Amino acid sequence: MRFDDLLLPVGEYVRGACENRQEWLLMYSRGVTPARIARWCRVDVRRVHRAVDREIRTSPAWFDACLLVHNQPVWDGAAARRFARNRGRVWWAHYGDVAARMGERGGVLPAQNESVRARELYRWIEAQRRRHDAGNLTRDRINALDALGEWRGTRRGTPDILWASRLEQVRQFQAERGRFPVYTPQRRPEEKVLATWLHR
């Protein structure tokens, strides 16, 4: 076969974006950055990141191999440990944050309406519940979460307990300020949740 046989006529070249995610993953596994893949394939870089993250979730070993390729210049121990994206370390850092918050609040899981940080921790716990339901949570992580207390329970909590908790929060608010919560997000964002609950 001659090289000329591999050339296509001008009208037959591919136009538009390259939508083949397997090609994106192959390029990423060979050390090409997501930004460059997106530029070459004429797609949004967020789509490339989503494809890579989806593959990382389903195949951690693939990510480990890619990590060696992408971090090759700094793969000398301390520097690699400092800069490498280590999913295990991130998981245990989130776990430590949840454990610390529960220790401060008497063993109560973070609720999504307490604060911005509590909402982040609440969503992390929800993600662990989904992983556990799908069978993707390792035994050591399940044991660590079990040590915190009841984390697998009803997703939104027991309705009666939540209702009583909100009622008590409204009572405390009324006792402290002499009025009921008002829904004004710009002036009083901390009242928004209580005012919405009270309205309903």
Kindly report, residue by residue over 142-183, the tens digit of the pLDDT.
Answer: 888 888 887 876 545 566 777 888 889 889 989 998 988 888
| Token duo for residue 174 | 């009324």
Predicted confidence at residue 102, as pLDDT, reads: 85
Predicted confidence at residue 172, as pLDDT, reads: 92
Calculate the alpha carbon distances from 82 to 63, 74, 86, 96 in Å. 17, 10, 9, 19
Predicted confidence at residue 109, as pLDDT, reads: 82
106: region left, alpha or beta (phi > 0 left; psi from -120 to 50 alpha): left
Nearest to 23 by CA among 49, 44, 41, 46: 41
Calpha distance 193→199 (Å, rounded):
10
Predicted confidence at residue 84, as pLDDT, reads: 46
8 A C-beta contact, residue 47 and residue 55: no
Calculate the alpha carbon distances from 91 to 3, 84, 113, 195 in Å. 51, 14, 23, 35
Global pTM?
Answer: 0.39
| Token duo for residue 167 | 């009622």
Quick one: DSSP state of residue 30? T
Largest CA distance in the chain: 88
Nearest to 107 by CA among 68, 151, 138: 151
Predicted confidence at residue 78, as pLDDT, reads: 54
Helices 34-41 and 45-58, interaxial angle, to 10°? Answer: 120
Calculate the alpha carbon distances from 141 to 14, 126, 185 in Å. 47, 14, 38
Which stretches of the chain score pLDDT less than 50?
Answer: 1, 73-76, 80, 83-84, 155
Predicted confidence at residue 175, as pLDDT, reads: 94
Place of tokens 């984390």: 151
| Token duo for residue 40 | 């070459």
